[in-house]
Amino acid sequence: MVSTLVLMATILPLAVILYRVRFHPLSHLPGPWFAAVGPFFLSIICYLGIEARVMRHYHEKYKTKTLRVSTNSVSISDPDAMHEIYVAQGGFVKDDRYANFTMGPVVSIFSAIDADYRNVRAKTVAPLFAPGRLRNATQQQQIIGECIRDFMDQFRLLKEANDEVDILDLCARLSIDVVTGYLLGRRYDGLHEHDDLPISQRKHTKLSANPFVFSIVAFARFSLLPNWLFRCTYAASTWWASSPEVDRSFKRLGEYSDRLLKKTSTASQAEGIDSTDRSSSSSPMTYQGRLLAAGISPFEAKVQAQATIFADADSTAIVLATILFHLVQNPSVNKRLHDEVESPEAQNMDTSQLPYLRAVVKEGLRLAMTNPTRLTRVVPPSGLQVCGQTIPPGTVVGCAAYVLHHDADVFDKPFEFQPERRLLPSTDEIVPSSIHDGDEVSHRLLPPKKGQQRELMEKHMIPFGVGLRACLGKNLAMQEIHEAVRVVAASNILEGATTIQHQIKMKEWFNGEIIGHRLEIKWC
């Protein structure tokens, strides 16, 4: 009897493994065999923060656009599949992983799986992200312009007082002030919260909201676990990693949110409020004011406000700091950008329309990848066809920015910062070239070099996601980044600077995290 049980205990697991590797509906897809056995491989590389680079490695090893990465999960690197997955008819439904991003009784706009729930809230605040409104807010005397001016003042002070500046922390201060000042009507005041300290000490003092942000980013390492196990693991991890610094950060952000909502709730009961006044958090034109006006409870409005601080501020700061880092490492790029933004023609152009500035920003977005891993969805009953491969219903699929942004067949030298690649002609802009063939002259289209097709590059770019579920704050982030990079380039403050770190190293969790939480530059 005992021997029979032992035999069964041995045979059954082997039979399950054999089925998953050789006979499962996904067994026809290429991928490492051990990934097909269960969720362990995917969960481990997620925890270690190397998920994206490992997937890129196996996509290249197996030369495939459809890579099996778990028993019922597939990584897709074909941009032509993104329309069906993320766009058509609202895109496929988010998988259960997103339930792990809801940390309390309120489901954030980002983590919502229910499309109707999300749409009600997203449509309520969407007018705040209108391009025209954002451009107006970037004027010198408006909130975004004011934040960028303060950012540059702090940058100059730090440069004069110290030989080193942490541009990641400085960009985080700018981003949190832009998000809170523009969306919530009251700046967090990250750029000024340490004004009472001597300037020589400020480089050692970081933004008070950082521990809050870092703790939220870090929990994504467990996000592939089943929800019940995730909650247990996250609770234990939070207890283990707790510290007075983290507690103070959460407390300060909570107090900021409470003041915000108290003022907004009080004002919403008053009559005669000017709906165009965005000078304070009491305005119904703010993020939380719009939610309250739509019937959302004050408690939920507070949680949604905190969620947007994390979702919009942290990612924008990483992109902006990445761009400044590469401008320092590439003085010729910085010089060319300076010449463009200071040219007479640029003075009458919208910032986002300056060709080289746009190229610099796009290259920064490609390399920063604030969400480097897969944006996962569930294949519907109709199934999915990708590159001639059939993916059955119920399969979890997704495209990863890291894989698409580093496709060597599309981006020549994919790990290098090369804004010039964005300025090459598109296919329909290539001028016919006269080629002598003996005594005859033939006119042929000379195709773009491998990796330099502009249209293909654009198709492979997903820095903000795709479709209706794409980042709600994309326009705000782009406005801040374009304007901040323009002002920095015009000031020439980076001239003569060098980076202390040789390269940017990241943890590839769902939200990317720069290892060490710092990017420092110095002037010789």
CA triple 434-438-439, angle to 5 deg: 80
User: Beta-carbon neighbour count of residue 475 at 10 Å?
Assistant: 18
Q: 444 forms bridges with which residues in the sheet?
A: 433
Question: Distances from the Cα of 159 to the Cαs of 148, 169, 194, 321, 430, in angstroms?
Answer: 16, 14, 16, 16, 45
Determine whether the annotation assigns residue 471 to a binding site.
Answer: yes
Residue 291 amino acid letter: L
User: Quick check: 402 and 77 in contact, CB under 8 A?
Assistant: no
3-class DSSP assignment, residue 457: helix
| 316, 471 contact by CB (below 8 A) | no
- DSSP conformation class of 493: T
Beta bridge partners of 61: none
- Tokens 């997203």 belong to which residue? 122
Rounded to an integer, what is the distance from CA 424 to the centroid of its chain?
A: 26
Give CB contacts under 8 A, 24+ apart, made by 39-42. Answer: 39/70, 39/71, 39/224, 41/69, 41/70, 42/69, 42/70, 42/73, 42/224
Per the listing, tokens 């489901």 go with 107
Q: Is 283 left (phi over 0), alpha (psi -120 to 50) or beta?
A: beta
**Whose CA is closest to 91, among 298, 303, 397, 335?**
397
Residue ranges of the binding site:
471
The binding site for heme consists of 471
